[in-house]
């Protein structure tokens, strides 16, 4: 079967996007792994599916699969690409669309400058809902972890943006042990569903550097939900004022969170790389 797809990226976090409104494809973990192979497939960090909604008052269903075939709850960079895709493909004429995800609804808005604003919803801070193993909610937690054969204690914040995140403060992201410590914390027992691990360097009260080891993928050039989680963690620690510019290896995002009871608002670019067709 010949399937049409679009290759896109949000600050280098790259995606294969499938329109499952006008074409039908059975998505399995095996197929996702095949398509995600950078040598024998298309290659991507995540596969994004645009599907008809199954809920009222929603424009589309938005599904996300990691390169390893696992389905995940949310992806901020992917959401911006999703918004651009449905407009470019004329699946909608709206500047603002509402999508259903595995963790609830999200509102995507395309600005005149072509940047996309995403209402990411309220961050989840309750440990049992993240999920994160802790006796009670706190702004930071101390975790004992073994990385590279060495056991150490690290302080992190635990936040869910529909998907679980651990955020650590570091003096310099360039020298942070993202691959080793990130991998060890991703699958740590304190995160029962595994987690994305962010390493944040605070430059000022409105500017940070960030690198993220993504669950099921490894380090990526950008992580939208990771940027949101990092800013939430920084504000809860009393170290950030809004809005915050987050510098990721692939580029910059603007994150605004006014505190508990408010949604996190993420604004950034979305880029189409090429169109293609592939047999599946």
Annotated active-site positions, please? 75, 223
Please report the DSSP string for 227-248 in residue order: HHHHHHHHHHTT---SSEEEEE
Residue 230 is encoded by which pair of tokens? Answer: 């990092």
Side-chain-facing half-sphere of 38: CA atoms under 13 Å: 7
Residue 82 phi, psi (nearest 5)? -55, -45
Question: Cα(234)–Cα(78) distance, rounded to whole angstroms?
Answer: 23
154 - beta bridge partners? 143
Signed CA dihedral, 213, 214, 219, 224: sign only = negative
Place of tokens 């309220």: 122
Beta pairing, strands 13-19 & 46-51: parallel
Cα(61)–Cα(54) distance, rounded to whole angstroms? 7
The interaxial angle of helices 76-88 and 224-236, nearest 10 deg, is 140
């Amino acid at each position: 079967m010949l399937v049409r797809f679009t290759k896109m990226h949000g600050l280098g976090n790259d995606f294969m996007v499938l329109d499952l409104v006008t074409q039908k494809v059975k998505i399995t973990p095996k197929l996702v792994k095949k398509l995600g192979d950078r040598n024998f497939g298309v290659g991507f960090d995540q596969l994004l599916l645009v599907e008809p909604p199954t809920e009222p008052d929603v424009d589309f269903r938005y599904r996300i699969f990691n390169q390893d075939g696992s389905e995940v709850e949310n992806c901020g960079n992917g959401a911006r690409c999703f918004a651009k895709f449905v407009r470019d493909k004329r699946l909608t004429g709206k500047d603002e669309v509402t999508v259903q995800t595995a963790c609830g609804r999200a509102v995507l808005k395309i600005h005149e400058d072509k940047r996309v604003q995403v209402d990411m919803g309220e961050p989840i801070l309750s440990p049992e809902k993240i999920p994160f193993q802790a006796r009670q909610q706190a702004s930071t937690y101390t975790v004992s972890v073994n990385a590279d054969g060495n056991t150490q204690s690290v302080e992190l914040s635990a936040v869910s943006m529909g998907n679980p995140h651990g955020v650590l403060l570091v003096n310099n992201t360039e020298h942070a042990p993202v691959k080793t410590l990130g991998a060890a914390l991703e699958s740590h027992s304190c995160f029962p569903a595994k987690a994305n691990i962010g390493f944040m360097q605070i430059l000022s009260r409105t500017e940070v550097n960030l690198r993220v080891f993504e669950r099921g993928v490894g380090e990526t050039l950008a992580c939208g939900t990771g940027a949101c989680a990092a800013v939430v963690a920084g504000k809860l620690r009393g170290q950030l004022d809004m809005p915050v510019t987050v510098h990721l290896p692939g580029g910059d995002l603007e994150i605004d969170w006014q505190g508990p009871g408010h949604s996190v608002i993420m604004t950034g670019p979305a880029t189409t790389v090429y169109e293609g067709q592939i047999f599946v």
